[in-house]
Amino acid sequence: MNIESITLVRHGMTEWADRGKHTSVTEVALTAEGRADAQALWKSFVEQGHFDGIYSSPMLRAHHTAILAGFSDPELHRGLCEWRYGRYEGMTTAEIRQEDPEWSVFRCGGPGGESPEAVSGRCDKLLKEWDAKGHRHVLCFAHGHILRALATRWLGLDLRFGDHLHLDPGSISCLGWEHEVPALRLWNYCPQRPVVGPRAG
């Protein structure tokens, strides 16, 4: 594989993320805190290495984060859109579990949205595409669940492993290698604030 590293950035805080509401196709703007999240990312990239592929989800919250972090013209890629929750769009985990007490998006998906198998395939396709383009160092701005899914597939694991990866808004993570084995090099680094409790969306 050509890829040496993939830097993952979750978009800054939104009102729905702050309230724990699952957000995929709904356009929700960054809050003031979210804009501060994004601007704080810039310092982490001032002395960055060279990225030969810079991508963003086309959703405004991710694209706006990329711009505020200093990347004004990322390639917008629908493969980085958030996991489609279907009927669970806008609901919190607590609300969903009133209907299905054992629910996890990584095990169950969303009714009328995407299944774990579909998202796993989407991530695999994305990794193959970047590798085929000859990218060595990729930077992408996207969403909590799709980035956790992408990291899981980079590691070659079943998507259920995503349940074990917490990811905060405005965080930076990096995928790479431990010798010849795919590895997590950095996970959930929040340059603007201490790590906080779990949030959805």
127 by DSSP, 3-state: which? Answer: helix
Ramachandran category for residue 70: left, alpha or beta (phi over 0 → left; psi -120 to 50 → alpha): left
Range of the domain at 84: 5-189
Report if residue 144 sits inside a domain.
yes
The 10s digit of each residue's pLDDT in 105-148 is: 999 999 999 999 999 999 999 999 999 999 999 999 999 999 99
Report if residue 196 sits inside a domain.
no
Q: Which of 22, 33, 64, 82 is catalytic?
A: 82
Report if residue 199 sits inside a domain.
no
Report if residue 98 sits inside a domain.
yes
82 labelled catalytic = yes
| Domain count for the chain | 1
Report if residue 37 sits inside a domain.
yes
Report if residue 197 sits inside a domain.
no
The 10s digit of each residue's pLDDT in 53-70 is: 999 999 999 999 999 999
11 labelled catalytic = yes
Q: Which of 11, 64, 135, 143 is catalytic?
A: 11
Report if residue 145 sits inside a domain.
yes
The 10s digit of each residue's pLDDT in 61-95 is: 999 999 999 999 999 999 999 999 999 999 999 99
CATH number of 164's domain: 3.40.50.1240
Residues forming a β-bridge with 172 = 9, 189
Strands 181-189 and 172-178: antiparallel
- Here the tokens at position 107 are 């095990």
